[in-house]
Amino acid sequence: MYIQLKQIKKTYTEGEKQHLILSDVNLSIAKGEFVVLLGASGSGKTTLLNLISAIDSPDNGAIIIDQQSIDLLNEHQKTLFRRESIGFIFQFFNLIPTLTVAENLQFPLELNGKLNRQTQAELEFLLNKLGIRDKHNSYPEQLSGGEQQRVAIARALIHRPKLLLADEPTGNLDDRTGEQVMDLLQELAKLYDMTMLVVTHSMAVAERADRVLQLKQGRIIQG
């Protein structure tokens, strides 16, 4: 399996109270699989994405991605792992407002020391593929919600990650734009041979998945 979560537990402390978010979570995802995770607000879906992406750490359990135990990495190693292996699409885009579209895409390449002629060509390919090539020098505030989401997708894919994590990728889009974004996302995931885990409330997105899971009372169950 490409991703394995074994007996993951995660709690948060608020004042003197402890809140159990995830309890004994076990999950296996095959390479190239497209999995959707459903669940009520506050059920821990975003927490789970943060654990898989090494943004956060579990209290107990093991997270293994591509035969690497990421929960055992130090903070520097986790940062490198995220930069090189993971693409993350956020619900609210998280584009840098003071940078143009091209600069937003170049930024993760600069962090990885991979901004060169080849990756510049990849940037142009993605902008063209996503239908926003004419927005090259535009700033995020000048774009529609659908255009901003396309830029966010391009930024997540610019370094050709092995794993794509998406948190409500169509949550702020109308139905038609959401369908277009998912069409493009699936097409590019196949092109780059990526594994994809998507958190969503949308049944239209869930219907596209190879497998649908639900997060309920801190545990994963079949959808």
Phi, psi of 164 (to 5 degrees): -115, 125
pLDDT digits (tens, 9 = 90+) for 117-134: 888 888 888 898 888 989
The span from the CA of 97 to the CA of 148, in Å, is: 11
Report the chain's mean pLDDT, rounded to a whole number: 90
Mean pLDDT value of segment 108-113: 82
Task: Give the pLDDT confidence score for residue 223 in this predicted structure.
Answer: 55
Phi, psi of 98 (to 5 degrees): -90, 0
pLDDT beyond 80 at 89: yes
pLDDT band at 10 (very low <50, low <70, confident <90, very high): very high
In this structure, what token pair is assigned to residue 20?
A: 């159990």
pLDDT beyond 70 at 46: yes
Q: From 137, 136, 129, 120, select the one nearest 153 (Cα to Cα).
A: 129
The span from the CA of 155 to the CA of 6, in Å, is: 30
Ranges of beta strands (E only) in the chain are 3-14, 17-29, 34-38, 60-65, 68-69, 86-89, 163-167, 195-199, 211-216, 219-222
Task: Give the pLDDT confidence score for residue 165 in this predicted structure.
Answer: 96
Q: What is the DSSP letter of 162?
A: S
Maximum mean pLDDT: which of 24-28, 89-93, 121-125: 24-28
pLDDT digits (tens, 9 = 90+) for 147-180: 998 899 999 989 889 999 999 888 888 888 889 8
Domain boundaries defined on the chain: 3-222
Mean pLDDT value of segment 11-15: 88
Task: Give the pLDDT confidence score for residue 166 in this predicted structure.
Answer: 94
Mean pLDDT value of segment 37-46: 89
Return the CATH class of domain 3-222.
Answer: alpha beta
Q: Are 58 and 10 in contact (CB under 8 A)?
A: yes
Q: Is pTM, for the whole model, over 0.85?
A: yes
Q: CA 7, 83, 117 angle in degrees (round to 5)? A: 150
Query: Going by DSSP bridges, is the β-strand pair 34-38/60-65 parallel, antiparallel, or unpaired?
Result: unpaired
pLDDT beyond 70 at 1: no
pLDDT digits (tens, 9 = 90+) for 48-84: 999 999 999 999 999 999 999 998 999 999 999 998 8
Residues near 204 by beta carbon (within 8 Å), at least 6 away in sequence: 170, 175, 178, 179, 182
